[in-house]
Amino acid sequence: MKTIIEPFRIKMVEPIKMTTPQEREQALQRAGMNLFLVPAEDVLIDLLTDSGTGAMSSEQWAGIMRGDESYAGAKSFYRFERCLHKITGFEHILPTHQGRASERILFGLVGGKGKVVPSNNHFDTTRANIEHSGAQAVDLVVDEGLDPRNRAPFKGNLDVAKLERFIEQVGPEQIPLVMITVTNNSGGGQPVSLQNIREVKDICRKYDKPLFLDACRFAENAYFIKLREKGQQNRSVTEIVREMFDLSDGATISAKKDGIVNIGGVLLLRNEELCRRARNLLILTEGFPTYGGLAGRDLEAMAQGFEEVLHEDYLAYRLRSTEYLGEKLLSMGIQIVEPPGGHAIYIDAKDFCPHIPPEQFPGQALACAFYRQGGIRSSEIGSVMFGKNATMELVRMAIPRRVYTQSHIDYVIEIIGEVHEKRQNLKGLRIVSGPAALRHFTAAFEEI
């Protein structure tokens, strides 16, 4: 097979700063060993998130200049609406400023005390918005999804047997909707099969429940379906995407992922009455329904981004370049969540430094070590983020879209390898200060 190259050339560059080990040590100490508190300027390769960090295309920047900033009925809104309608088939399309704004509106309407919302795995902000409404968020991912070494093709699937049992147990009247996150970010960026979405939809029909997608990475998920699911190889990603949306009754989307923009979100709804109420909440907290908390130029960039993300050359490059990082690490004996996800590689920190117990935060210690060694920023997904509820100790290396080249990634692989060679010197951490909730953003640590 030919090398899969970056299907773009670079027309504008942003310098990144090389730092000395001493400078990095000082930055790390000033930040209390919390990488969220390190200034981005002191980071060489930033793999903290793939959200809002992608590079826009020349056509997206052209859209920025064309943006119609009228308060109501802007031309840019109609372009955005036409584009989202063409891709998803939905009639009711609300722009929001980002994914969690869509979640806040949706669960403000259908959540509330006594309600429970099942999903494969809820992302943190979705869970937080459900819980904020008084409802409960429940994860029902298939068992393979919990085992980092299992190489099943669709480890993001929602377990349909668990779902049906769960609905019978709590009573269908307590469940306002069923959700599926594509791809499953909290579960290692793993995809969900079309077959699974169809089966979940069948159960939703049986109990007369709407099915909602958290569709942040819908295009990456559709390309995994094309690559891995029997009978899907000859369909276009556009067709697969359309079937995913046709099976659903609504979707929350953060356009900061597969919309390839720096800010933006979408709420899709089929039910007219729900849409009317959502629109009222949108006006209350985001803005008039034809701009939803964004500028006209943002709507142009989003419309263009959602079109570009469906290009199969782009998706082949996107999934392959993430897989490249994962394969190299595996070949060096570094355990990751297998198989590689779409937007990120998740390193198993328990396996990397078995001498550091979970209560000394092996993921955080490892993320700090990568920064110290080579200025790479990643994020802990383990005991710092989830406390005692953590099931795995992971370090997520999320890849921004169209930003880094293969030599950047080769450098990342070298640095991880260097840290791996002297892993027995890694020290555990203790928290010296931090809030009770969402402590991963602000807690300070010291080495033990």
- Interface residues with ligand F0G (CB under 6 A) are 49, 51, 98-100, 123, 125-126, 181, 185, 214, 216, 254, 256, 265
Specify the residue, 102 or 193, whose C-beta has the smaller distance to ligand F0G.
102
DSSP H helices, 288-425, are: 296-308, 312-331, 349-352, 362-374, 383-386, 406-421
Rounded to the nearest whole angstrom, what is the least distance from the CB of residue 14 to ligand F0G in the complex? 20
**Which residue lies nearest ligand F0G, judged by its C-beta?**
99
Q: What is the DSSP letter of 148?
A: T
CB closer to ligand F0G out of 216 and 367: 216
The span from the CA of 273 to the CA of 409, in Å, is: 48
Cβ at position 60, least distance to ligand F0G in Å: 17
Contact predicate 401/335, CB 8 Å = no
Q: What is the DSSP letter of 37?
A: G
* Closer to ligand F0G by Cβ: residue 326 or 400: 400
Angle at 181 between CA 297 and CA 314, to 5 degrees: 55
Give me the least distance between CB of 217 and ligand F0G, in Å please.
7
CB-wise, 60 or 125, nearer to ligand F0G? 125
In whole angstroms, give the CA distance from residue 47 to residue 345: 10
Least distance (Å) from ligand F0G to the CB of residue 333? 27
Helix (H, G, I), strand (E, B) or coil at 363: helix
The tokens of 166 are what? 């769960």
**Closest CB to ligand F0G among 49 and 133?**
49
In the complex, the smallest distance separating the C-beta of residue 432 from ligand F0G, rounded to whole angstroms, is 25
Report in angstroms how near the CB of residue 365 gets to ligand F0G at its nearest. Answer: 21
Per DSSP, 187 falls in state G
Yes or no: say if 303 and 83 are a contact pair by the CB < 8 Å rule.
yes
Q: Is 270 exposed, middle or buried (0-12, 13-18, 19+ CB in 10 A)?
A: middle
Nearer to ligand F0G, 125 or 248 (CB): 125
